[in-house]
Amino acid sequence: MEPGDHLFRHESGRMIAALTRIFGVHNLALAEDVVQDAFCRALEVWRIRGIPENPSAWLMATAKNAALDVLRRQRTARAFAPELGRFLESEWTLAPVVEELFSTGVIKDDLLRMMFSCCHPQLQKAAQVPLILHILCGFSVGEVASAFVSTHAATEKRITRAKKVLARSKRLFDTAAPADFSARLPAVHRALYLLFNEGYHGASSETAVRAELCREGMRLTAMLLEHPFGSTPATYALAALMALDAARLPARVDSSGNLISLLEQDRAQWDQQLVAEGLKFLELSATGCELTEYHVEAAIASVHACALRTEDTDWKAIVSLYDTLMRIRPSPVVALNRAIAVAQKEGPERGLDEIRSITARDRLASYPFYSAALGEIELRRGRPETAREHFRAARAFGAQLDGAPVPRRARHRVRCRRSEASVLRAISGPGTRFFQNVLGSRRLNHASSPPCGLGGLCRRPA
């Protein structure tokens, strides 16, 4: 992607959010047209005069001037944002109001309002993340389709339907109402979680990791943390999970684009700044009375950050944490990840017993990592032929997903020697006393915290 593309993508969401606040959510298409015109204008002018010293400010000024032109030309023929109606009717108030609405602080609030609006309860959950990517992150329909392994036509229809639902809501979400904010917040958390995961465990057939999706998820979560109603324990836990997972991205893919299993990653390549940030967020998440799936998954990820070597992993803690996650969000996939942790702690025979005892195990039949996990366990049991059959089944399923005989996704998702399924984020975790603190006093013992900041729970080699 060219540097200009990154700039336009970043500014697109800010400009659309500001313009939608002025024009009204029912005029979202008009806001998008104005932004597109601003980008085209920038390409024409910058080609001749060169890129300005502050291209972001140039784009925003262009969008602001375009908004004023639209308001002056169409204020008698078109209804704009109802809450701004009387201010937009008079020339004396028009320019000052638009100027104020394009200020940095107001635009940041507009971005948040748009993000919450994209998680409207009348919108299908499957449409919320694509809508966020398209409106707030500047992804084209084609890019969204690629991210979700869908056709351009199907993605365009889904986004178009979602925009129509958004338009019927009449106005953007009001982030100043505490009760409404709290009620909508879990849906926003879920959308951001899915956005990050689509980059980290994505379905793209072209690349194993979509780092730009991970970055967008982290950026929007950071923005949510800046709002007084958004800085909840669950948001901090989500931010911790993203930071700790993103820290492993530099070691997650090899030079050929293949995923490297967690147990085989070069931990020296992990981003220690992100590790420190994630551990800080994790501590902040334990200050309240709330315990969510994000807390558990972030705690799971934290053990990797605290274990300098693979062999230092605390498998007993992993199993304990997955017991907690099964109580909060039970599913066959979570149970499978727990069984993999048991196999690491007590041996492959016990892990296989746990897999066989999973409730609704038949639902895992279409999950490629299920066959891969069985192959990994059989390999550890000294049964390579049985393991090979399971790996072949996992490959075959990956091929069906991509519609190709041996797609890149199948090659980099399921490895014959050691499958990605055996080393998903699930097979990691911190000590059980951390969750005793979260479940009991809800506070960490900072006085006795080691450098990793988890109250003496992370076991470092002597």
Q: What is the pTM of this model?
A: 0.78
Q: Kindly list the distances between the CA atom of residue 147 and the CA atoms of 68, 144, 248, 250, 307, in Å, as whole numbers in the listed order.
A: 36, 5, 21, 20, 32
Does 19 fall in a domain? yes
Of residues 88 and 42, more confidence is placed in 42
Question: Residues 134, 138, 143, CA angle at the centre, nearest 5°?
Answer: 65
Question: What one-character DSSP code corresponds to residue 259?
Answer: B
Closest CA to 459 of 245, 301, 309: 309
As a dihedral over the C-alpha atoms of residue 379, residue 382, residue 383, residue 384, rounded to 10 degrees, the angle is: 60
Whether residue 42 is contained in a domain is answered as: yes
From residue 203, give the alpha-carbon distance in Å to each of 146, 199, 401. 9, 8, 9
Q: What is the pLDDT of residue 255?
A: 80
Looking at the domain assignment, is residue 306 inside a domain? no
Please write the tens of the pLDDT for every residue from 335-351. Answer: 999 999 999 999 999 99
Q: CA distances (Å), 118 to each of 21, 27, 215, 349, 434, in order?
A: 14, 15, 19, 47, 35
Tell me, yes or no, whether 52 lies in a domain. Answer: yes
In whole numbers, what is the pLDDT of the chain averaged over residues? 80
- Residue 117, domain member (yes or no): no
What is the C-alpha separation between 342 and 347, in angstroms, rounded?
7
pLDDT-derived band at 396, boundaries 50, 70, 90: confident
> Is residue 230, in this structure, part of any structural domain at all?
no
Task: Read off the pLDDT of each residue in 7-35 and give the average, rounded to a whole number.
Answer: 88
In a domain, 1, yes or no: no
Give the domain extent around 22. Answer: 7-102
Q: How far apart are CA 3 and CA 9, in angstroms?
A: 10
214-266: per-residue pLDDT in tens? 998 999 999 999 999 999 999 999 999 999 999 999 988 888 777 787 878 89
Residue where the block lists tokens 């979202």: 28
Asked whether the predicted pLDDT for residue 120 surpasses 70, the reply is yes
Exposure b/e, 121-132, CB count within 10 A at least 16 = b? eebeeebbbbbb
**CA 390 – CA 371 distance, rounded (Å):** 5
Q: How many domains does the chain have?
A: 1
349 assigned to some structural domain:
no
